[in-house]
Chain A
Amino acid sequence: MTAGRRTLMKGNEAVCEGAIAAGCRFYYGYPITPQNEIPETMSARLPSLGGTFLQAESEVATINYVLGTSAAGRRVMTSSSGPGLSLMQEGISYMAAQELPAVIVNVSRAGPGLGGITPSQGDYFQAVKGGGHGDYRTPVLAPHSVQEMYSLTILAFELADKYRNPALVLGDAIVGQMKEPFVAAPSRASVPDEPPWALSGCAGRPRRILKSLLLKDGEIEVHNWKLHRKYTAIREQEVRFEPFFLAGARIVVLAFGTAARVAKTAIQWARAEGLPAGLLRPITLFPFPSREVEEAVCGADAALVVEMNTGQMLEDVLLCTPHRDRVRFLGKPCAMPTPEEILAEIRGLAAEAGARAVRTR
């Protein structure tokens, strides 16, 4: 693939291009819809690059291959969808505890249970609130385009290495399956040198141990506070969001991923009607752009949270604003909202705000 040229590609394939551009040469996975293009592409691409593809016996095994390769100091990725991510939570917890970097892509589908293969944002809590056992966090990036499936995969590798922590990319069936033109950045295989903690045999250096069992008095508490400081640094330094017609917006839509992509159309239609609507799209779900959301809600008449679930990011929005009465929710569990539905909500909120303005005058 030529850097700088527009290429038509599925989001799942763009994830692979991003990983390869990031210097990732190890991929492990297990088949599950709607992400199968990722293992299929990696199985075809990696051997010629001197890399390793291995299909695991389960997602439980997958994440532990990932743990081992990360412990050996190599960039490594896996991908799956909701049910597979559930099985990986044990390993993700261990990796967070041992401070091992890796990129884990969730092309999420409808749940709970076997659910379905329609797009869904029902894995928000699982991704953002830790998912596995213990007090840990992982950076979570939410692409809303094929371009971002590529670029945010690269960013996930950088964050994973920078913070020695697993990083998640939370997509969905739409961004995974849809084809769009995108532009690959010039190859930046800036793979870090041998990490100073990697297991490689103790030739010429003291041996290294990567573990999470901390039995000595107080040791585990100290470790938890150390991890907490890291998550605080991530909160302070890594917030990313996209404002879209946000300046002067009286009706602020808050949405991520595919829901945000649809909301952009609705907002353009609303603006064409003269309605002052705008979008704040969190790109990082952890860290959540709390301050930006608070400011946007504070300056607006109403905030409309749109999600492909029954209200998960909604809770984070409500946590960061004192103006809870301004927050409304449009949920489409396991389905994509239409721009018409979002526009109808915007019109309703605009009318309400107008009526309030008349009453208070």
Chain B
Amino acid sequence: MSGAGPAKGKRAVFSRSRSLLDVRTHYCPGCHHGIVHRLLAEAIDRFDVREKTVGVAPVGCAVLMYDYIDVDFAEAPHGRAPAVATGIKRARPDRFVFAYQGDGDLAAIGTAEIVHAANRGENITVLFVNNTTYGMTGGQMAPTTMLGQKTATSPYGREFRSEGYPIRVAELLATLEGTAYSARVAVSTPAQIRKAKEAVRTAFTMQIREMGFSVVEFLSTCPTNWGMKPLDAQKRVLGEMAAYFPLGVYKERKQADFT
């Protein structure tokens, strides 16, 4: 953090996470990537793993996350972050390895890699940002786009007869034996952020205790490509999105279950 400590006689109640670089991000106003980055950085600090962490950046808006999170980073081809993370973790099992993916990355082009990483119980942690669209390429239809949602490539709204239904990733991955932890959270209100923080901590704990694959799905905003004001976008998360993508913990392995 850049600032000096609190002024004399004052008590610090808030400070930048050590693992979060003091730079301005490129994310749009109202985008949730920044909050998710913050939760990630807080967890890295809390578990004191910054110096043994290797992150895997995705393709999409968050590819530049290595400019914001102060750890070693690899950059994966689109959808391949779980495979790259697998290669790193197998080579260095004592390091903390996370991958960060969007919905196009994880749930379309990278479906095979995420399913098999989870099924192997690969001891990595995946942060999955679901904002129902391809942000960086300009708001095209994603596998998680809601029925009826208009996007750059579903200008008349997503129609299930042609484009199928939005994929519920947290539930899907929870069905796999190798998955130790799968949860869906939101970060659109302080209360939800607190729950999300807990989920990230639990996911980290799974890896640190070598209990297998952990994933946290974040329902997130993309005001720019949704064509919404940031505040309206916040409301959509706990409204329309959470109605189809229910928040909750879908799988949580207990130490006793894992032998």
Q: How far is the CB of A191 from chain B (nearest CB, A)?
A: 13
- A211 to chain B: which residues have CB within 8 Å? 57, 66, 73-75
Which chain B residue lies CB-closest to A200?
B92
The reply to whether A67 and B84 form a contact with Cβ atoms under 8 Å apart is: yes
The reply to whether A68 and B91 form a contact with Cβ atoms under 8 Å apart is: yes
- A60 to chain B: which residues have CB within 8 Å? 80, 83, 112-113
Which chain B residue lies CB-closest to A210?
B74
CA distance A90 to B74 in the complex (A): 16
The reply to whether A56 and B92 form a contact with Cβ atoms under 8 Å apart is: no
Residue in B51, B63, B70, B91 whose beta carbon sits within 8 Å of that of A213 in the complex = B63
A1 part of interface (Cβ distance < 8 Å): no
B205 part of interface (Cβ distance < 8 Å): no
The reply to whether B71 and A201 form a contact with Cβ atoms under 8 Å apart is: yes
Binds B, one of A69-77, A114-122, A135-143, A305-313: A69-77
Interface membership of chain B positions 47-78, coded 1 if the CB is closer than 8 angstroms to chain A and 0 otherwise? 00111111011000001101000111111110
A208 part of interface (Cβ distance < 8 Å): yes
- B73 to chain A: which residues have CB within 8 Å? 199, 207-211
B253 part of interface (Cβ distance < 8 Å): no
CA distance A270 to B76 in the complex (A): 54
Which chain B residue lies CB-closest to A65?
B87
Total B residues in contact with A, Cβ cutoff 8 Å? 36
B197 part of interface (Cβ distance < 8 Å): no
Which chain A residue lies CB-closest to B91?
A72
- B115 to chain A: which residues have CB within 8 Å? 57
The reply to whether A57 and B112 form a contact with Cβ atoms under 8 Å apart is: yes
B170 part of interface (Cβ distance < 8 Å): no
Given A201-B72, A207-B72, A69:B88 Cβ within 8 A? yes
Interface membership of chain A positions 167-199, coded 1 if the CB is closer than 8 angstroms to chain B and 0 otherwise? 000000000000000000000000000000001
The reply to whether A200 and B90 form a contact with Cβ atoms under 8 Å apart is: no
The reply to whether A94 and B77 form a contact with Cβ atoms under 8 Å apart is: yes
Q: Which residues of B contact A (CB under 8 A)?
A: 49-54, 56-57, 63-64, 66, 70-77, 80, 83-92, 95-96, 112-113, 115-116
With A76-B91, A201-B95, A210-B73 given, name 10 new contacts (CB 8 A). A57-B112, A60-B80, A60-B113, A67-B83, A68-B84, A91-B80, A199-B54, A201-B52, A210-B74, A211-B73
What are 19 pairs between A and B in contact, CB < 8 Å?
A60-B80, A61-B83, A61-B116, A64-B113, A67-B84, A69-B91, A72-B95, A98-B74, A199-B54, A199-B73, A200-B54, A201-B71, A201-B96, A203-B51, A209-B66, A209-B72, A209-B75, A211-B66, A213-B64
